[in-house]
């Protein structure tokens, strides 16, 4: 039976794509049970007990729509960062905000600069709105800021994406370098500075909240999905100048934020002691993952995130064999998608019992290869 005939020419030309294959799809497709879920950079340490209590307390209000202005959460985030609520936009995760940013700026055929092998969901949005991706290779497993700057100027690009700390490699630049990069971009180029892993990084890796707040061509994105342990709640936010942030109100889904997700984010933001505890657990888990890699003759890369990229010393085919082999033991991990980054596997930090399974399975998989 023929399909609907009046999709746009852009949609007709796009492949049906899912940027990430989830562990649920792997379980369905391969008939395997995930025993150690350490591949999606979630926080299996979970949200704070105070957050779960807030969700339980407010669960009876689920019949109500969320405040479409996100007033309370914007006020709390502004106070946390020392900004004004007018500097804050709230969305259903960073992925939603990235789609809105692309929609705000990009028309079909326009160039968008990003790193080759960087966050695939951003690329998904660019393609979905007809943008033309211009990619810059990583240098030394870090995003190449000089290369991104040169490409933005050469292409007269209206949009450039840069993640710090970086996914999928876990690398980072110091705050001073990031600020210099942002200020060197043309005023007509909007920088998306994705700081999803900022809570996990070392001191000095993230610019202070007001470091770039005077630049209308910079939007910084953050999330509650990583260190705060709320990936399933889908809460992201962005901050920038009021004149830039107000543009989101023209196109955002005003009733998109779930009410309980907002309550969870408010409680999580208020419990900074728990966040500090989790960041410590993330650091300890990174060290353990690195030690497991070294014990098996592999090379862990330095990480400022809640995962560790591990250089397997060969090519993407070999790394993929390790990923698939670990899944046979119920250990779900991922790997970067393009060469030369795909010589690595990527292991998320997690509970000790999950890392126990990884430690037990890895040498068996390597021996089988």
Domains by residue range for the chain, with CATH? 9-46+273-368 (3.90.1150.10), 49-270 (3.40.640.10)
Q: By three-state DSSP, how is residue 281 classified?
A: helix
How far from the centroid of its chain's Cα atoms is residue 90's Cα? Answer: 16
Report phi then psi at 8, rounded to 5.
-65, 160
The pLDDT of residue 322: 98
The pLDDT of residue 168: 97
What is the C-alpha separation between 223 and 73, in angstroms, rounded? 13
Mean per-residue pLDDT over the chain, rounded: 97
Q: By three-state DSSP, how is residue 89 classified?
A: strand
Q: By three-state DSSP, how is residue 40 classified?
A: coil
The pLDDT of residue 18: 81
Degrees, nearest 5: CA angle 211-213-214: 105
The pLDDT of residue 318: 98
What is the C-alpha separation between 213 and 233, in angstroms, rounded? 27
The pLDDT of residue 3: 77
The pLDDT of residue 119: 96
The pLDDT of residue 199: 98
Neighbours of 218 (CB within 10 A): 23
Contact 100, 251 (CB under 8 A): yes
pLDDT per residue of the chain (369 residues) written in tens, 0 to 9: 777 889 999 999 998 888 888 999 999 999 999 999 999 999 999 999 999 999 999 999 999 999 999 999 999 999 999 999 999 999 999 999 999 999 999 999 999 999 999 999 999 999 999 999 999 999 999 999 999 999 999 999 999 999 999 999 999 999 999 999 999 999 999 999 999 999 999 999 999 999 999 999 999 999 999 999 999 999 999 999 999 999 999 999 999 999 999 999 999 999 999 999 999 999 999 999 999 999 999 999 999 999 999 999 999 999 999 999 999 999 999 999 999 999 999 999 999 999 999 999 999 999 999
The pLDDT of residue 242: 98
Helices vs. strands in the chain: H and E counts, helices first: 13, 12
The pLDDT of residue 141: 97
The pLDDT of residue 220: 98
The CA-based dihedral angle spanning residues 86, 90, 95, 98, taken in that order and rounded to the nearest 10 degrees: -20
What is the C-alpha separation between 44 and 110, in angstroms, rounded? 39
């Amino acid at each position: 039976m023929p399909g609907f005939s009046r999709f746009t020419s852009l949609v007709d030309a796009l492949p049906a794509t899912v940027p990430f294959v989830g562990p649920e799809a792997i379980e369905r497709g391969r008939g395997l049970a995930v025993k150690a879920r350490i591949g999606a950079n979630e926080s299996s340490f979970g949200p704070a007990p105070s957050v779960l209590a807030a969700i339980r307390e407010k669960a009876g209000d689920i019949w109500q729509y969320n405040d479409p202005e996100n007033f309370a959460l914007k006020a709390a985030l502004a106070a946390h960062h020392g900004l004004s609520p007018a500097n804050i936009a709230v969305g259903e995760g960073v992925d939603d905000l990235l789609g809105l940013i692309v929609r705000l700026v990009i028309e079909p055929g326009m160039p968008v600069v990003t790193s080759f092998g960087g966050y695939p969901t951003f690329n998904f949005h660019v393609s979905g709105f007809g943008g033309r991706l211009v990619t810059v290779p990583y240098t030394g497993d870090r995003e190449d800021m000089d290369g991104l700057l040169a490409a933005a100027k050469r292409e007269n690009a209206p949009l450039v994406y840069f993640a710090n700390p970086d996914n999928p490699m876990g690398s980072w630049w110091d705050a001073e370098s990031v600020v210099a990069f942002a200020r060197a971009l043309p005023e007509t180029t909007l920088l998306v500075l994705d700081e999803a892993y900022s809570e996990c990084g070392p001191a000095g890796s993230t610019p202070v909240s007001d470091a770039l707040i005077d630049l209308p061509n910079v939007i910084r994105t953050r999330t509650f999905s990583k260190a705060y342990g709320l990936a399933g709640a889908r809460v992201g936010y962005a901050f920038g100048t009021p004149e830039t942030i107000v543009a989101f109100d023209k196109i955002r889904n005003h009733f998109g934020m779930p009410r309980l997700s907002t309550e969870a984010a408010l409680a999580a933001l208020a419990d900074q002691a728990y966040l500090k505890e989790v960041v410590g657990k993330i650091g300890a888990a990174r060290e353990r993952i690195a030690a497991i890699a070294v014990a098996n003759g592999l090379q862990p890369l330095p990480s400022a995130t809640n995962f560790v990229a591990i250089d397997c010393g060969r090519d993407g085919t070999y790394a993929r064999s390790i990923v698939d082999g670990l899944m046979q033991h119920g250990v779900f991990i991922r790997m970067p998608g393009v060469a030369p980054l795909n010589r690595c596997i990527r292991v998320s930090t997690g509970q000790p019992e999950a890392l126990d399974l990884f430690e037990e399975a890895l040498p068996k998989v390597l021996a089988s290869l």
